[in-house]
Amino acid sequence: MISFFSSTRLTSWLLVAFLFFFVADWYWPAFPRWLYLLPAAFFYANLLGCLVTRLFPMKKNLVGKVGLVAFHLGMGVAMAGGMVTALYRFEGGFEVVEGQIFSDQAESYLYRTYGPLWRPFFTDEAFFLKEILVARDGEGNITAFDCLVARTPGAEVFHRLAANRPLSLSKGQVFLSKHFGTALGFKAVRDDGAMNSGMVNFAPRQQKQTFTAPGLPYTLQVELGDKARQEILLAGFPGHFTRKQALIPGQGVRIGDTTLIYGKKAHWAGLMVVRDPGKPWVYAGFLLFSLGLLLYYSAKFTRQ
């Protein structure tokens, strides 16, 4: 029994099993990930068996052996952390736009967006977005993207959320992404009075974007133009709206029986809520792994 669990032959077969599972995971989106627990259980038994039988006697090459053990244990710890992450991690996010104001405190914006999914983790620590703010320098460039957040229902103690100022909850973290993109607001008014509105989001530093104009069957291309005038360039595709036109906020363009009005330009950032109890274990595993490598190779070179 001991020889079975302490054999590197078993290790090889387990690695083949992991290989097979990873390929299946990539190929088959509905792969049941709890299946990883099966080879993982054998892997830990094998790791323990190998360590116990190969570590002793410790007299010879102690540093090298400790390095080898730390290196393998590091992998084991990181793998355990990965499994905890796979089973208990929770993440969600959405885009928050500059100038957004949330007046409804009774029900959190997050709860409204994600419903009961959040409840197992955040019920006792609900937080409410109050206002999305940005700070600008003298030239109008955004230097910081902030969210004003209230922690509990009715509380008047606010936390200023930013990329480097996450809000720590006992079971997770809320933070803003470091980079922000641009959002353009459009309104389409038809001659019969029907009105539609929509937004076009640009990823950070993205300059061109294709979008379907609100209420119109046309696919248009919009390009960010002169920054100071907040100008944009609107272009169409052959057969539809074929012109290329520069627009400033409030200006409209006539397409068929509709006037498409460019409303305003704002910025957006991603707000993320993450809970990951496995992460510290994974990082500890990485550290142990690297330390083990260092010890193993320093012992090897010293012996040479």
**Residues in contact with other proteins by the rule CB under 8 A:** 7-9, 11-12, 15-16, 18-19, 22-23, 25-26, 82, 85, 89, 91, 93, 175, 177-179, 203-205, 272, 274, 276, 279, 282, 286, 289-290, 293
Contact 95/179 with Cβ under 8 angstroms?
Answer: no
Q: Dump the DSSP string for 114-162.
A: HGGGGHHHHGGG--EEEEEEEEE-TTS-EEEEEEEEE-STT---EEEEB
- Taking the complex as a whole, the smallest distance from the CB of residue 18 to other proteins amounts, in Å, to 5
Least separation, in Å, of the C-beta of 155 and other proteins? 25
Q: Shortest gap between Cβ of 272 and other proteins (angstroms)? A: 5
Are the beta carbons of 281 and 81 closer than 8 angstroms? Answer: yes
Least Å distance, CB 179 to other proteins, is: 5
In the complex with other proteins, the residue whose CB is nearer, 12 or 152, is 12
CB of 281 to other proteins, least distance (A): 11
Measured from the CB atom, the residue of 89 and 240 that comes closer to other proteins is 89
Q: Which helix (H) or strand (E) holds 81?
A: helix 62-88
**Strand blocks (E) in 170-290:** 172-190, 195-202, 208-212, 219-224, 232-235, 244-247, 252-255, 258-275
Strands 167-169 and 158-161, sheet pairing: unpaired
Nearer to other proteins, 2 or 106 (CB): 2
C-alpha 43/C-alpha 54 separation (Å) is 16
Report the C-alpha gap between 249 and 246 in whole angstroms: 10
174 and 187 in contact (C-beta within 8 Å)? no
Cβ distance to other proteins smaller for residue 23 or 55: 23
Q: Which is nearer to other proteins, 169 or 189 (CB)?
A: 169
Please give the full DSSP string across 262-283, using - where no structure is assigned: EEEEEEEEEEEEEE-TTHHHHH
Shortest distance, position 286 Cβ to other proteins, whole Å: 5
Closest approach of other proteins to the CB of residue 22, in Å: 5
C-alpha of 4 from chain center: 42
